[in-house]
Chain A
Amino acid sequence: MTIANPSRRTLLQAGGLLLASTALPTFTLAQAAPAGGRLVVAADSEPKNLNPAIVASNGVFFIASKVVEPLAEASFDGKDGLAPRLATSWEGSADGKSVTFKLREGVKWHDGKPFTSADVAYSALAIWKPLQNLGRLVFANLETVETPDATTAVFKFSKPTPLQLIRNALPVVSSVVPKHLYEGTDIATNPANVKLVGTGPFKLTEYKPGEYYRLTRNADYWGKGEPKLDEIIFRVLPDRAGAGAALEAEEIQLAAFSAVPLTDLARISKVPGIKVISKGYEALTYQLVVEINHRRKELADVKVRQAIAHAIDRKFVVDTIFLGYAAASTGPVPKNAPEFYDASVPTYAFDTAKANALLDEAGYKKGANGTRFSLKLRPAPYFNETKQFGDYLRQALAAVGIDAQLVNADAAAHQKAVYTDHDFDLAIGPPVFRGDPAISTTILVQSGIPAGVPFSNQGGYENKELDGIIAKASETIDTAARTELYKQFQKIVATDLPLINVAEWGFITVARDTVQNVSNNPRWAVSNWSDTALKS
């Protein structure tokens, strides 16, 4: 009965700390983060479906990851870049057809029921594999999950599935939900998709649409002495300009995912009591990509695609649009995935003369009005930066005689136009690199994907050699051989340019100095925040 009355205990502790800090102003809290307190965070969207097992996206994880946990979380210094969560160890078989997870003991769901291997088996077979946007790919060959005892789950695959891929995907695809609430119901409309029940350090206790989400401390959490905070409030602040002002007024203590606009960072970093942090997004690299519709005859010519790549000044994009908070891309794998990244791919320096020469060579001479041909350019509306890059790309293409007509649309209309109706010539998209090319990167260039799958190859690009490498890598168990295949993949993409990678960026967190243990893992904003604390 050490945790007889948590609220009183934490209250006393907080009171004690308050006394100590007022009695000794120089007293520092370096050793142990203080417990208690309410953290107020800016949230900019309210996902309709909050179940991270079904919708593996950052907007959902931002809130849901505190409630529903994955088998393992990304880590800066853990083995394989992972820190155990609901699984304590994982091991692949020699033939690559099974992976054995040892699960944590003594974990309870928020409704008091015990967490067992049956929950993992159910989540994997009933949700991750058939329903989840990313799980569909990672667990495509998953046949069964055997549960010899309550803390062991053995994943059996019909074809060899690389452990490297499973490991890299674990933080994103393996959110476990309770079997006893989902079994026998319609999963898509289950009320637990909104009123989440998980094993995480916080319980979702209140949601007021348009106002806030309230997460309260889970006293039965398996982590010793965690969570530190009593409460997390996600305040819905859709206006990006509002987050900075709210931080200054101390209405909120933290704004993640660049909720404070990049242009405001220089100013706000000088405000006393506020820190600007660019760490903590290493495993969530967004890529600025020009998607190309290869059905257009001009764009089907690789010379035209190379000309477009040469027409883009990546330095301008990084320095002016991203204000330096980004890096120029060389290919489809970002630099902060060193396991796979290959720097020795063909690159396209900013060279208008060369771009013009390539276009002339391709047979598209400038007409009397100085233009060669017209294109429809659709920038994705999700970020200020993608829209600004749209404005920039129009100008950059005008400089080489290509007239790009911008078409703006809201998120739903944009996705329908590009990924279902193929009503675009060029589109600007921000796909995410999620730790392994097989999770959400190869799908951008692979052929044979049905229309309507968002963030996939909908430009009609088809390259048998590339498809072959992607298929082979998905079944290669040997880590070194698999990595080598992805290096070839990068070379082909950078040479043939099915799409043009322009820049890659992480987000910025802005927090009050009182918030501690911020950005201490590569997916911090979407991790469980069990050790995050507030200094009083």
Chain B
Amino acid sequence: MRLVRHLVRTPEGAIGLAILAALVLVALFAPVLSPGDPLRIAGRALLPPFADPAFPLGTDRLGRDVLAGILHGTRTSLAVGLAAALAAIAIGLCVGLTAGFAGGLVDEGLMRVVDAFQIVPSFLLALAFVSVIGASVPVVVLAIALGAWADPARLTRAQVLSIRERDYVASARVIGMHPAEIALREILPNALPPVLALSAIIVAAAILTEAALSFLGLGDPNVVTWGSMIAEGRNILRSSPSLSIFPGIALVVTVVGVYLFSEGLTKALAGRRLEP
């Protein structure tokens, strides 16, 4: 709770948290705000925005409600972003912790694997992965996580390397604690804060990657996503720019919100450490 208080005290954190909270609410209540399948053909095609109260943001090429698409798209974007970041952090933490704590050959081996993943541009990796396996939400999540776990792994390893030389770790070893217990109970909690700060950035990047994949037609075609909405609008950018602009704005707001939140989180974590 103290962390939240610190977070809210920074302007970035407060704004970021507000945006994120609003988005989460929209995502949770999307089926209430706009019931039914958002891909349903609901009205006349290409209604302009702000013209018909039934379709506040207009309709697309096939007559699907743009507002419903954006509301339900929040779910996909947040779900994919969070799940991918969670998976990436989980893999990164495990690999980093093992490498840093075990040292030696294990460390060398794992770090070369991390190198290999860092060398390949993560977007290309995701692109290749999805085009080979086929587009569906779990595959997209996995594809994004695959390109994102290397950074937290490196960060965790660096933290672990410095922490494991601390006195309290040495004393834990002296009293005969099991190495796994030392790693999980003594080192991990102290290595976590910087990785958490990084996690928000990974969420933002994951949301963007998901949108880019959908834009290229590699998203799941059975759910509505902002990226696919922008891609569809692109063909008629000259005559109905709003079709691309609205999901674009939603994407920008989300990513900015997540970034601000991560900024605030970093500051709050730093502040907590400075305060006694």
Contact of A264 among B45, B62, B236 (CB under 8 A): B236
A406 at the B interface (CB under 8 A): yes
Contact code string B9-50 (vs A, CB < 8 Å = 1, else 0): 000000000000000000000000000010111000100000
Q: How far is the CB of A257 from chain B (nearest CB, A)?
A: 16
With most chain B CB atoms within 10 A of its CB, the pick from A388, A391, A394, A409 is A391
Within the assembled complex, what's the spacing in Å between the Cα atoms of A409 and B139?
Answer: 14
Q: Are B135's CB and A395's CB within 8 A?
A: no
B237 cross-chain contacts in A, Cβ below 8 A: 241
Contact of B61 among A320, A395, A407 (CB under 8 A): A320
Known: A266-B239, A320-B61. A408 touches B135 (CB 8 A): yes
Of all chain B residues, which has the CB nearest A379?
A: B221
Q: Are A384's CB and B235's CB within 8 A?
A: yes
Within the assembled complex, what's the spacing in Å between the Cα atoms of A390 and B222?
Answer: 11
B238 cross-chain contacts in A, Cβ below 8 A: 241, 244, 264, 267
Interface size on B, residues (CB 8 A): 21
Within the assembled complex, what's the spacing in Å between the Cα atoms of A267 and B135?
Answer: 35
Within the assembled complex, what's the spacing in Å between the Cα atoms of A397 and B61?
Answer: 19
B45 cross-chain contacts in A, Cβ below 8 A: 320
Within the assembled complex, what's the spacing in Å between the Cα atoms of A392 and B37?
Answer: 13
Within the assembled complex, what's the spacing in Å between the Cα atoms of A392 and B45?
Answer: 12
A263 at the B interface (CB under 8 A): yes
Of all chain B residues, which has the CB nearest A244?
A: B238
List B207-263 residues whose CB lies under 8 Å from chain A: 217-218, 221-222, 234-239
Q: Are A263's CB and B61's CB within 8 A?
A: yes
Known: A406-B221, A408-B221. A395 touches B239 (CB 8 A): no
A57 at the B interface (CB under 8 A): no
Known: A392-B41, A407-B221, A409-B134. A321 touches B236 (CB 8 A): no
Q: Are A395's CB and B222's CB within 8 A?
A: no
B194 cross-chain contacts in A, Cβ below 8 A: none
Within the assembled complex, what's the spacing in Å between the Cα atoms of A235 and B221?
Answer: 32
B40 cross-chain contacts in A, Cβ below 8 A: 395, 398
Q: How large is the interface on A (under 10, 10 to 19, 20 to 34, 35 or more residues)?
A: 20 to 34
A59 at the B interface (CB under 8 A): no
B193 at the A interface (CB under 8 A): no
Within the assembled complex, what's the spacing in Å between the Cα atoms of A267 and B37?
Answer: 32
B131 at the A interface (CB under 8 A): yes
A405 at the B interface (CB under 8 A): yes
Q: Are A320's CB and B239's CB within 8 A?
A: no
With most chain A CB atoms within 10 A of its CB, the pick from B40, B41, B135, B236 is B41
Q: Are B62's CB and A406's CB within 8 A?
A: no
Of all chain B residues, which has the CB nearest A417?
A: B134
Contact code string A384-428 (vs B, CB < 8 Å = 1, else 0): 100010111011001000000111111001000000000000000
Q: Are A263's CB and B131's CB within 8 A?
A: no
B131 cross-chain contacts in A, Cβ below 8 A: 410, 413
Q: Are A391's CB and B235's CB within 8 A?
A: no
Q: Are A263's CB and B39's CB within 8 A?
A: no
A261 at the B interface (CB under 8 A): yes
A408 cross-chain contacts in B, Cβ below 8 A: 135, 217-218, 221
Of all chain B residues, which has the CB nearest A266?
A: B239
B63 at the A interface (CB under 8 A): yes
Within the assembled complex, what's the spacing in Å between the Cα atoms of A391 and B41?
Answer: 9
Within the assembled complex, what's the spacing in Å between the Cα atoms of A264 and B46?
Answer: 13
Contact code string A226-253 (vs B, CB < 8 Å = 1, else 0): 0000000000000011001000000000
Q: Are B63's CB and A263's CB within 8 A?
A: no
Within the assembled complex, what's the spacing in Å between the Cα atoms of A321 and B61?
Answer: 8
B135 cross-chain contacts in A, Cβ below 8 A: 407-408
Within the assembled complex, what's the spacing in Å between the Cα atoms of A261 and B237?
Answer: 11
Within the assembled complex, what's the spacing in Å between the Cα atoms of A392 and B235?
Answer: 17
B41 cross-chain contacts in A, Cβ below 8 A: 316, 392, 395
Within the assembled complex, what's the spacing in Å between the Cα atoms of A174 and B237?
Answer: 42
B61 cross-chain contacts in A, Cβ below 8 A: 263, 320-321, 388
Q: How far is the CB of B38 from chain A (nearest CB, A)?
A: 11
Q: Are A263's CB and B236's CB within 8 A?
A: yes
B239 cross-chain contacts in A, Cβ below 8 A: 263-264, 266-267
Within the assembled complex, what's the spacing in Å between the Cα atoms of A394 and B40?
Answer: 9
Contact of A391 among B39, B217, B234 (CB under 8 A): B39
Q: List 27 A-B contacts (CB under 8 A).
A: A241-B235, A241-B238, A261-B235, A263-B239, A264-B235, A264-B236, A264-B239, A267-B239, A320-B45, A320-B63, A321-B62, A384-B235, A391-B39, A391-B221, A392-B41, A394-B39, A394-B222, A395-B40, A395-B41, A398-B40, A406-B222, A407-B221, A408-B217, A408-B221, A409-B134, A410-B131, A413-B131
Binding site for B on A (CB under 8 A): 240-241, 244, 261, 263-264, 266-267, 316, 320-321, 381, 384, 388, 390-392, 394-395, 398, 405-410, 413
**Extra pairs beyond A395-B41, A408-B221, A409-B134 (11, CB < 8 Å):** A240-B235, A261-B235, A263-B236, A264-B235, A266-B239, A267-B238, A391-B221, A392-B41, A395-B37, A398-B40, A408-B217
